[in-house]
Structure 1
Amino acid sequence: MDIARKIAPGQGVLLDIEAELEYWQRVFPDTEFRDASLPFADFVPTIKFGYDCYLLFHRQPLAEVLPSLRTRYALQIPRHQQLEWRWADQIVRHAWGRMRAT
């Protein structure tokens, strides 16, 4: 996840994760996530998870894959780095919306 640019294999989707993290850090104070009483750094693993899921599943509707992402999140993100699913769910949705808009 330290790679600045990621490409979905064989699918031509390019992601500049550093630019996306800069975006999130810029808008973070104005989002509902600030109400979680956690610093921005605590959201980074979940933000990266959202983009990774987009790269893996972007050809499918989010509504179709979202139920399985909760389980994937619990297995992939170390417990001490996990946010409450209500926050993770919103982050995944927001990340997908940003990618779909580009």
Structure 2
Amino acid sequence: MRKISIILGLIFAVLVVILSVLPLYKLSFIPAILALAFGLLAFFKSKNNQQSTHVIQVVFLITIIALSLATYKSIFSVKEVGDTKELKQLEQQRQEEAKEELEDLIIID
């Protein structure tokens, strides 16, 4: 049970790192919770059997670093929406220019 928990913790920790770097950083919180849960399970199993916890500490470290990166991105990323009136005016202006260019063309049969 301890080895399975460590392996699953490592897999989820790597998944958290990958998702926290991608634009899908908001999805990285779900595997982070799973990585921490499996890490805690493995930690308590190791403490009961008095085994080494170095790999489990790596799982916690990787997960915490990736979580801090995802949290930073979620707090400080700003998404601005442009003024739609200006965009509509620009689109209408381009359509008028396109119509004028089409009117200026002479079609020869």
| TM-score normalised over the length of structure 2 | 0.27
Greater CA radius of gyration, 1 or 2?
2
Q: Normalized per residue, which structure has more helix?
A: 2
Q: Normalized per residue, which structure has more strand?
A: 1
| TM-score normalised over the length of structure 1 | 0.29
